[in-house]
């Protein structure tokens, strides 16, 4: 029971600090939107692409195996 309370408390404080960052991101995006706005867009693309690269590295054998099995499959 104590572990559950500890985990819930940790998640509450962690999420609260993560949500406080949204205000700073919004202020930065609004300031850059007046200028060019390309800096925040490049950052978002960088953050978005990294997990897909990691997943590809981890599962590349299964992905290529799937393509090979689909290629050899008779219809």
pLDDT tens-place string over residues 14-42: 666 555 566 677 777 777 766 665 666 67
Query: Under a CB-based contact definition with an 8 Å cutoff, are residues 40 and 29 in contact?
Result: yes
Q: How far apart are CA 68 and CA 62, in angstroms?
A: 10
Enclosing domain of residue 53: 38-75
Same domain, 31 and 42: no
pLDDT (tens digit per residue) in 10-21: 777 766 655 556
54 shares its domain with 70: yes
pTM of the model: 0.41
Residue 28 and residue 1 share a domain: yes
Q: Percent of the chain at pLDDT above 90? A: 15
Percent of the chain past pLDDT 70, that is, above it, reads: 68
Residues 33, 29: Cα–Cα separation, whole Å: 6
Scored b (16 or more CB within 10 A) or e, 28-65 reads eeeeeeeeeeeebeeeeeeeeeeeeeeeeeeeeeeeee
Looking at the structure, do residues 26 and 49 belong to the same domain, yes or no? Answer: no
Question: What total number of domains does the chain contain?
Answer: 2
Higher pLDDT, 23 or 47: 47
pLDDT for position 22 = 67
């Amino acid at each position: 029971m104590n572990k559950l309370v500890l985990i819930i408390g940790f998640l509450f404080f962690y999420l609260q600090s993560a949500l406080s960052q949204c205000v700073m991101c919004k202020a930065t995006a609004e300031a850059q939107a007046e200028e060019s706005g390309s800096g925040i867009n490049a950052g978002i693309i960088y953050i978005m692409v990294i997990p897909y690269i990691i997943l590809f590295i981890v599962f590349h054998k299964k992905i290529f195996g799937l393509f090979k099995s689909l290629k050899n499959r008779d219809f």
